Structure 1
Amino acid sequence: MQSSHAAAAVSAAFDDANLVAHAGLVPVMRLAERCGLARLTAEKVKLSGARNSAGAAADAKVTSIVAGMAAGADSIDDLDVLRHGAMPTLFGGIRAPSTLGTFLRAFTHGHALQLHAVHRRFLTSLAAHAPLLPGSREKAFIDVDSTHKRVYGRTKQGAEYGRFKGIRTLHPLLATVCTPTSRPVIATVRMRRGKAADSRGAPKLVSEALATARGIGCTGMRILRADSQFYNAGVIAACRRAGARFSITCGMNPSVRRVVLAIPDTAWQQITYPTAVPDPDTGELISGAQVAEIPAYTAFTGRRKSEQVTARLIVRRVRDLAKPATVGEQGELFPAWRYHPFFTDNPADTLQAEREHRHHAVVEQVIADGKASALAHLPSGKFNANAAWLTLWAMAYNLLRAAGALASAFHAKATTATLRTHLVRVPARIARTARRLILHLPQRWPWQDAWTQLFATVHAPPEAP
């Protein structure tokens, strides 16, 4: 491809008031309206006592931030993308970035909890309007994980040197819900200070995530999956209270090591991965492993009897490639293995339970998705403003997931970056006729059918109850 004209024959001018760069926000925000985002915010978020009227019109401000995030904004200043060209013709109540920043900085911990309530109800409504979680009546997985988000401001509240030496971070915690055939949606999130332990607040978050999962239609088997940071009696007790099952990685502590090393060689089953997968410890690609099971292992024996749990201990082992099979002229006396045990009451057979547990890594895709979009920055110096920003990102993420599910089978599983490219960042020219607006979009847009399907679905009259 090359330029069609000489440089001297081309000029540019930002002077067309009838153009928009994000025409896809029309169906996306129509979906948000149908699911009651503005109404829920007006009912639940009450920033009473805030200075400079920062708490006024919370519904307009929340929808403005969510729309900006859906368009790709990753900072408060980037939210100004909503005010270009003919956007004020398509949407009313768009707020300036300075107004939205003042709104976020007015949040307290209680206000952040109000926003969590909006998020839960909004997700429930999205699940009722779009096929977010096909198969949720049979089986659903709730994945819990934490992440460290690097920040640079020395005065940023809650930013501390934690796990990573010399790196100042905040430490969000999140839980997602998915089914064997769907992409995850975000059930709940929490912002935490940088030095917070990985499992801090996890039992409460697990209880909330399991309740949210049931509220969005996960009425079949619910299985909580988590890494070894969440291997504790409180998390498993939360699962038992909610009637859910668990599948949690456990480290090689002395008790686990003792029973794992006692497994006879004949008990190991060979498995071969369809494609090579990275080893969680070394990052090396592996294509085969062995799996064995201890059918009744009692965990937390150092606690009182009512808190002890007996369930399956499933172990996967892979050859330790860091140790060469041959040293000098003498071959290895015995193979060296690395063990990856997890504790579960999943009733599936051993190999299926191991495969389902390994798919817990899907939560990392959600985290990566966030860090490539609205979580590229935690933009405020105020801790509760960043907590609100985190929750608003979760709303925008779920909204895009619902829009993708309505657009096509491909977009139901696409990343939000792809959804923005295909469905949101579509330029259009606005025309008016007979008190109607017409969007003129580019001819031969590659994803025209998916965009049209989404637009037609959210603009169709609602079905009768």
Structure 2
Amino acid sequence: MRGFLDRLYIIKRNLRQETPEMWRDIALKNGQARIVREGKVEYMGSVMWKVGNMEQRERVVFHVVERTILSNGQQLLLPELEVATYWTSLPVSPEELIHLQRDHGTSEQFHSELKTDLDLERLPSGKFKVNDLVFHFGALAYNLLRIVGQMSLHHPDSPLKRKAHTQRRRIRTVLQNVITIASRLVRHARQVKLRLGAHSPWYATFKDLYLAFS
């Protein structure tokens, strides 16, 4: 446990026997209040908390939301409390840490693509070193496909029109539209050429990507 606590981490806590009312009281004493709207107040802050039977205390960041009026204007007889607490060793403000925690969904999307789109959910061998090598190859392929996807995202002739909020393409989309594009390998005059269909919608994008990497 001590070796683990020496590292940088963010871990969402299980409240277990701790009540939301208890954390509201802690937030009132140790947190900073922000009025989000009428009837909704959030508190952010941190306290030093005891870890099990260990003598040392670790930092806990809390985020408490108290609602007395719902967003539709309905008033509540009793306050509605939402509490989230996190073990952390990061030397950042509570606001920044909560933002980092909320952004973990992005990393989960990347993990999902590695497992599903590149079929790395189950590694092929019972030997750790073999699986380690396979995973490294998978990570290399993933990064290359990510680069291709980002470059195609900004290509003016890309058949897939970019929406205003689109910041990346899924690996599956890159594989389907750029990597598995229909073509024919032609050998002529001691040269090997890749010939695409005259009406291929991805020709211009593929050509520019090929020239960029060659």
TM more than 0.5: yes
Q: Please say if residues 291 and 351 of structure 1, whose CA atoms lie closer than 8 Å, have aligned partners that are also in contact.
A: no
What is the identity, as a one-letter code, of the residue corresponding to 2:14? G
Which residue does 2:61 correspond to in 1?
Answer: 313
Which residue does 1:248 correspond to in 2?
Answer: 11
Q: Please say if residues 408 and 450 of structure 1, whose CA atoms lie closer than 8 Å, have aligned partners that are also in contact.
A: no
Which residue does 1:401 correspond to in 2?
Answer: 146
1:448 to 1:351, Cα distance in 2 relative to 1, 3 A = farther
TM-superposed CA distance for 1:302, in Å, is 2.7
Cα distance in 1 between the residues matched to 2:35 and 2:22: 20
Q: Please say if residues 293 and 312 of structure 1, whose CA atoms lie closer than 8 Å, have aligned partners that are also in contact.
A: no
Which residue does 1:269 correspond to in 2?
Answer: 34
Which residue does 1:420 correspond to in 2?
Answer: 175
Structure 1: runs of 5 or more not aligned = 1-231, 240-245, 273-288, 320-325, 460-465
Q: Deviations over 1:208-259 (max 9, x none)?
A: xxxxxxxxxxxxxxxxxxxxxxxx65444122xxxxxx43322214569686
Within 5 A, what are the aligned runs for 1:84-163?
Answer: none
Would you tell me which structure has more strand in proportion to its own residues?
2
1:295 and 2:59 correspond? no
Structure 2: runs of 5 or more not aligned = 68-73, 155-161
Cα distance in 1 between the residues matched to 2:78 and 2:10: 31
1:252 to 1:437, Cα distance in 2 relative to 1, 3 A = same
Identity %: 15
1:318 to 1:428, Cα distance in 2 relative to 1, 3 A = farther
Cα distance in 1 between the residues matched to 2:97 and 2:45: 13
Which residue does 1:337 correspond to in 2?
Answer: 81
TM-score, length of structure 1 as denominator length: 0.34
Cα distance in 1 between the residues matched to 2:64 and 2:20: 13
| Cα RMSD (Å) | 3.9
Cα distance in 1 between the residues matched to 2:4 and 2:41: 28
TM-superposed CA distance for 1:418, in Å, is 0.9
Task: Considering Cα pairs closer than 8 Å and 6+ residues apart, tell me whether 1 or 2 has the greater RCO.
Answer: 1
1:341 to 1:458, Cα distance in 2 relative to 1, 3 A = same
Q: Deviations over 1:409-436 (max 9, x none)?
A: 4797211101102210111122233322
Which residue does 1:34 correspond to in 2?
Answer: none
Cα distance in 2 between the residues matched to 1:425 and 1:318: 52
What is the identity, as a one-letter code, of the residue corresponding to 1:313? V
TM-score, length of structure 2 as denominator length: 0.66
